[in-house]
Structure 1
Amino acid sequence: MRIIVNSIFVEDQNQALAFYTDKLGFIKKHDIPTGKFRWITLASPEDEGGCELLLEPNEHPAAKEYQQKIFADGIPATMFAVTNIHEEYNRLVEKGVEFTMQPTEMGTITMAVFDDTCGNLIQIVQQ
């Protein structure tokens, strides 16, 4: 068994698609109309055949409440691995990404947290 899709709730699918592709550099794998919304998945350019990230609309009241509460408490919605966190941090800052936590060492990892502009905090980690 392996993970093939992981969802992240987003407030606006178009805004999320632009942020995750233009700012973060993910590749759009699927963009399929499903009525009012779309099935939009992204992949890492480093592993195009790997796990996909689904940009899931937060339209359900429970999804919206969950997203708002973890954001308010400063809890990242998901985590992405990076090879060099300082280089990635600088690259993202140059693209206008706003960080809520700069690269910080915590035991055997270094992590940073940014706002994805779509209702989520995202953590990047260098192991």
Structure 2
Amino acid sequence: MLAHPAEAGFFYGQFMRRRKAVILLKAYYAERSGGLMAKAVEEINFETKNMRDPMLAYVKVLYYGLYIKGIRLYHKKDDESALFVSMPSEKSGDKYYDTVYFKDKSKKEEFEKTIIDAWNKQKK
């Protein structure tokens, strides 16, 4: 069951735009009222032009009606079969901070696994 947006484990930086909050609320109440709700990750697009090793692709994901852009997919330098996902980030001072993050670690792991599975399926 879809959790309330405040509890869904998804936050868009510190500033969730009103439109995005409305979309999440509509999805939450549509499911609660018995309406059909699409799965969490509805669409995944990979952009693979001009990639430098070890980066494989930029990823755009439609997640609960929100497009998340700037996700990066990498393979580990020592093991090309081991993949990992880097969430969108921005620089503040000397450090980079994720702009899209999950409240619950298990939701983030599930999200990353979905992206990696889609990549592996596409490559076959």
Band of TM-score, shorter chain: 0.3 to 0.5
RCO greater where, 1 or 2, for CA within 8 Å and sep 6 or more? 1
TM value normalised by structure 1: 0.33
Larger radius of gyration: 2
TM-score by length of 2: 0.34
